[in-house]
Every structure is written in structure tokens, then in C-alpha cells.
Structure 1
Amino acid sequence: MRFDRRALAPPLRPANLLSARQLALAWSLLTLIALLAWVLVVGQARDMGVEPGTMGMGLPVFLLFWLTMMIAMMFPSVAPVAITWTRAIGRQSAGATRVARTTQFVVGYLLSWTVFGLIAYGLLAATGALVDEHPTVGRWIGAGAFLLAGLYQFTPLKNLCLRHCRSPMGQLMRYAAFRPGARDLRVGAHHGAYCVGCCWGLMIVLVPLGVMNVLAMAAVAVVIFIEKLWRLGPLFSAAVGLAFVVLAVLAPFQSWLLPGLTPPQSPMTQMLPP
């Protein structure tokens, strides 16, 4: 009686099956982190409401909230890049090492957004002080923010950064040849810098709409996701730019577009006749 050795051998595990499992796990983890961040952001926004400026938050507290907001808004769109990098390094790293290196990538990415958060804090503090002293100037600040965001959608820098965010493989391949020391941190920070360059114009519309405006945050997050992942993302980006220009024209005459630049009215002010 003859035995077939192949029948006794363990079944082979296709490489694509392993990759699919890794891909699903990475997607699930990033999605879970983003959902938890959204829960925290919604809870904080519900307690604070929408007001001009930093709403009394000091810089450390603001940066903590800012990072939570960036995790909620940006992780869905950055997930493909993080997963691509994870799969690339996964061929050379064990499981624990792969997790540590992926964590470095995420930390580097958030570091870039932390730097922009410092700028955002100063911008919010300045606009809040102006609106407190001169309430009517808020309509022109809002119009300027919408106009700047709209025009930026058509600039070469926006297109360059958007192309990188949509197809980052060239940069990832270039970084693969760098020395291992802090390489993953640098990759995350570098990609984060491109992401800031792509999205800062969308973020500044939160000045007139309100940095604690959950609906506005969700809308901006959807725009970022579509821009980066949809095949017609560049055309969609141009359409968003036109929409912001229209809002810039309407903002001086429509106060409902500027909840983030409208000082809260005291009960005595509300009782006064218009």
C-alpha cells in the first residue's frame, strides 16, 4: 500500500489569507480607536457648547482635546497608509516589534498635528479676543476663513499634498532605505506633515463653525475621507472649494453660519429689544 506524503503534510497557508487577516485586524483596531475618540469628543462638546475662542481651555487641555479630535477625524482616512506601512514592515518584524513600530508611526503622525494644534490654539485665542471686543467683526473673520479655505483648495500646494495622501507609496519606499533608528516615527511625522498641508484649509472652517461643533467636525471628516480615498477625490476637492467661496459670500449676512464667532448672549441681553 502506498502513502501519499502530500496527504500527510499540513495544509499550506496562503500568503494572501494571512495578509487579509492582518488587514482586517488593523482596520478594526483603527476604527475602534476612532470610534472611542468620537465618543470622547461628543461628550466634551456636549458639556462645553459652541462659543468663540478657546472656551476657557488652557493650552495643555486644548492640545489633549485637539489630539482626541484628530484621532476621531483623521484615523479613518489615514488607516490605509498605516496599514500599508504595517504590512510592509510585517515581512521583517515579529508581532510585538510590528506593533511597536506601528505605534511609532501613529505617534509621529499625531506629532505633526500637535504642531498645527499649537497654531490653531493661537488662532482661536486671537479671534476669540477680537470677537469679545468687537462682536460685529466676527462676520468678516468668518468670511475670510471660508474664502481662504475655498481658495486653498485650488492651489498647487493643496494638489501636491493631496496627491501624496492619495498615493504615498513613493515616499514609503524612499523611507524604507533609511536607517532603522526612529525611522517609523519619521515616516509618521512626514506623512502627517503632508496631511496637515492637505487638510489645514478644511480645519480652519471650524473657526467660524465652532471647534466644538460636532456636526461641523463630522462633515469635515467626511470631506477629508472622500478627498483621499475616492477615485474622483480631486474633483470633489474642487467642488468643496467652490462651496466654501459661496459660504464666504453669505457669511457676512447669515449669522447662523458663524456659531463659532457669535458671542453667547446673557439673559439681560436677550431681553433687550433688537
Structure 2
Amino acid sequence: MAFPDRLEATLRHDRVIVIVALTGVAGLAWGYMIREAQGMAQTGICQCAGIAMSGPDTQPWSPFAIVPLFLMWAEMMVAMMIPSATPMILTFARVNRQRREQERPFVPTGLFVLGYLIVWCGFSLIAALAQWGLHGAALLSPVMKSNSTILSGLLLMVTGIFQWTPWKRACLRHCNSPLGFLLGDWREGRGGALAMGLKHGVHCTGCCWLLMALLFIAGVMNLLWVAAITLVVLLEKMLPRGEWFCRVVGAGCVAWGGWILASPPA
């Protein structure tokens, strides 16, 4: 088969290629995260980039600890957000294929994904700084879980209220309408693909950042908590009435947070 024919056959199967690639990336991130969680369960210490990030030591961390904290959060964000971003990425690949069939410029899908992940890496840095500060203020337990009922209750209530705000609805509508976003905000060239990925990442982060902050409540490396938040994010973006689902989640968070704040100290 000649090279042009092979290329054409490959592009006709771009959906399968993208799905396999995204599944592989997310699978690697989940696998590494599970490995870290298992090691923490066995030893009581979470290792990231060879540095212990939890354990019996409750002394303030060195500023150098921000690097492994960042890597840990970035790995979690890849694992948690790739599944919910898949519809947008697949739509981008489909629009790309149609443009090539019309002999219009081809834009690499990988650059769109890169832009998306760059934004979540920015969030990971902020989360790492927040964790570093919370640990230094003795608000996190040795297993990276909030040991403050006030912190837990307020995080839940703020998250629940945010679920009802116009900002949440606007960001969620963007995530729920992949084709509308791409048709209305298409940019040519490699720089355009990266810019579109960045813009989608900003909307996606704006939609989900407080849900990710809830990881501090049950433990940053609590896999059941990580899986539950991943599922909530996925359902918000995939359900036909995702806006109503996120309001239900918000009401539940407010009720839970209020119950924690009203409960007497243990």
C-alpha cells in the first residue's frame, strides 16, 4: 500500500487511535496513583518522586517539597480529567478529519490535548502550594487528610454554593457543547490548536476546581474519594441534564458541610 493510502486509512481510524492514546495516558496515571496509594497503605508513607510526602512527620515541609507535591497533583489531574475531556478531544479529531477531507489545513490533535493539560498543570501547582501551606499550618493529618472540621465544613459548603452559580453553569455549558465550542472558536495552525486547548482547559478548570479541592477532606490519596469525584465530573458533563445533577451535588455538599460544622467536636 502506498504511503498516501496508508495515511488515508489511518485518518479514517483516527477515533480509535485517539481513544487508545487517551486510554493509555489515563491508564498509566491511574496505575501510578494506585501504586502510590498501595505503598502508602503498607508503609504509612506516600512516596512521590522518591520523596516521602506523608507519614508520622508533621513538621513543616521544605519549599523543595512543592516539586513532588506538584507531580502528585498533576498525575491525579491527568487520571481524573482525561475521561471527561474525551468527548471534546474526539470531536476535535473529527472536525480535523473533515477539514482534511476538504483539503483545509490539518491541526494536530496532540497540541489541543497539550494545551488542555497545561492548564490543569497550572491548577496542580496551585493545589500543591495549598497543600504545602495547609500542612505547615497543621490543618492536614499525616495521611494528607483535613483534621479540621471547620476546614472540611467550609470547603463542602463553598463547593456546594458554587455548584449553583452562573460561573459554574457557563463553564459546564462550554464542556457540554464540544462542537459548538470548536465551530465558534476554531483557530488555525499549531498555535491555534494549543490556544483552543488552553481555552477549553480554562473552562474545564473553572467548572471543576472546587470539586478537586474536596480531595483535602478525605485524603488526597484516598482512591475511593478520587474515583467518586472523577465520576461526579464525568456525569456532570455527560448527562443530558447535567446542570440539574450538579445542583443536586451542590445541595448535598451544602447539607454535608452544614452537618459537619454543626456537629460537636469529637
TM-score, normalising length from structure 1? 0.76
SS of corresponding position for 1:182: helix
Alignment-derived partner of residue 111 in structure 1: 118
1:99-142 alpha-carbon deviations (Å, 9 max, x no partner): x8111111110111111112212221222222369999711011
More relative contact order in 1 or in 2 (CA 8 Å, sep 6+)?
A: 1
SS of corresponding position for 1:131: coil
Alignment-derived partner of residue 29 in structure 2: 37
Is there any run of 5+ residues in structure 1 with no aligned partner, and where? Answer: 1-14, 256-273
Distance 2:124 2:232 in 1: 20
Distance 1:150 1:118 in 2: 24
Distance 1:133 1:232 in 2: 36
2:234 aligned with 1:242, yes or no?
no
Alignment-derived partner of residue 164 in structure 1: 174
Is there any run of 5+ residues in structure 2 with no aligned partner, and where? Answer: 1-7, 46-52, 55-60
1:49-99 alpha-carbon deviations (Å, 9 max, x no partner): 589xx64682222222222211211111100100111111123459xx96x
Alignment-derived partner of residue 262 in structure 1: none
RMSD of Structure 2 on Structure 1 (CA): 3.1
| Equivalence map 1:169-180=2 (5 Å) | 169-176=179-186, 178-180=187-189
SS of corresponding position for 1:35: helix
Alignment-derived partner of residue 14 in structure 2: 22
Going from structure 1 to structure 2, the CA distance change for 1:143 and 1:33 (only over 3 Å counts) comes to same
2:70 aligned with 1:70, yes or no?
no
How many angstroms does 1:34 deviate by? 1.3
Q: Is the 8 A contact 1:112 1:192 kept in 2?
A: yes
1:132-190 alpha-carbon deviations (Å, 9 max, x no partner): 699997110111111111110000000000000001323312332x3424111111111
- Kindly, what percent of the aligned residue pairs are identical? 32
Say which one has the larger Rg.
1
SS of corresponding position for 1:212: coil
Distance 1:196 1:254 in 2: 35
Going from structure 1 to structure 2, the CA distance change for 1:133 and 1:175 (only over 3 Å counts) comes to closer
Alignment-derived partner of residue 223 in structure 1: 232
Distance 1:133 1:220 in 2: 20
Q: Is the 8 A contact 1:153 1:201 kept in 2?
A: no
Aligned residues, how many? Answer: 234
TM-score, normalising length from structure 2? 0.78
Q: Is the 8 A contact 2:111 2:190 kept in 1?
A: no
